[in-house]
């Protein structure tokens, strides 16, 4: 009898295991994306991106969304395909290179003897999504690494309507908010370059 019971128990255990695997939710991975635009052709100004600081609650692989008061919802099967700070750095670099038409973009830390014309530091304070809105709040600094001279420091608070809080809509919404932030930063750099050009003519 024992010879019959043991194989039967093994088959039942295998069936339960396979059923559990079949019912596991599928994992989804998301990327932040830069705005579609022609490749830059210029070589100035040189840009240094970073460091990028993000809140501790966002330092995880899973998406965090649907913030309601002090409550956060952490997705169980929806994850970033790369560390979030790395994705933000990559997207900002691509956006700024396109907006300022420069191929000379480097990441922090750079060689002190080859400092870029402009450094861009980002301190992300919040990045949240709900059923009606995606928001991004960031403190940023544009400065000249050669002499640590600040060009502009600002706090940007950006919003974007969101049809729903579904994870598939969050990454595109965050990407658009990052492009809006990139436009603001690029505007500060372009204005400083224009001012520097007019001063040199005088």
Its pTM stands at 0.84
Contact criterion met (CB below 8 Å) for 158 and 135: yes
Tell me the pLDDT tens digit for each residue of 20-68.
555 566 789 999 999 998 889 998 999 999 999 999 999 999 998 766 6
Span 66-71, mean pLDDT? 70
Residue 182 lies in a domain: yes
The answer to whether residue 1 is domain-embedded is: no
Place of tokens 């729903």: 164
118 found inside a domain: yes
Distance, in Å, from the CA atom of 48 to the CA atom of 56, rounded to the nearest integer, reads 24
CB 112 within 8 A of CB 124: no
Residue 22 falls within a domain, yes or no? Answer: no
- In the block, residue with structure tokens 């598939």: 168
Quote the pLDDT of residue 13: 55
CATH number of the domain bearing residue 183: 3.40.50.10610
* Structural domain boundaries, residue 74: 42-201
CB burial string 96-126: b at 16+ within 10 A, e below: bbbbbbbebbbeeebeeeebbbbbbbbebee
Is residue 76 in a domain? Answer: yes
The count of domains in the chain is 1
In a domain, 11, yes or no: no
User: Does residue 12 form part of some domain?
Assistant: no
């Amino acid at each position: 009898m024992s010879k019959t019971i043991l194989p039967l128990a093994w088959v039942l255990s295998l069936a339960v295991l396979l059923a559990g695997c079949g019912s596991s939710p599928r994992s989804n991975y998301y990327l932040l994306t830069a705005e579609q635009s022609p490749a830059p052709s210029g070589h100035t100004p040189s840009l240094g991106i970073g460091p990028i600081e993000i809140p501790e609650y966002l330092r995880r692989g899973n998406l965090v969304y649907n913030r309601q008061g002090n409550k956060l919802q952490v997705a169980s099967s929806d994850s970033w395909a790369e560390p979030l700070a790395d994705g933000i750095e990559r997207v900002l670099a691509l956006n700024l290179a396109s907006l300022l038409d420069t191929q000379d973009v480097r990441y922090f830390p750079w060689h002190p003897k080859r400092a870029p014309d402009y450094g861009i530091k980002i301190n992300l304070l919040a990045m949240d999504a709900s059923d009606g809105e995606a928001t991004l709040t960031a403190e940023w600094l544009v400065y000249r690494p050669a002499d640590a001279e600040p060009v502009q420091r600002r706090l940007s608070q950006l919003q974007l309507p969101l049809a729903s809080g579904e994870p598939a809509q969050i990454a595109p919404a965050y990407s658009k908010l990052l492009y809006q932030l990139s436009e603001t930063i690029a505007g500060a750099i372009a204005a400083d370059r224009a001012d520097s050009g007019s001063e040199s003519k005088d």
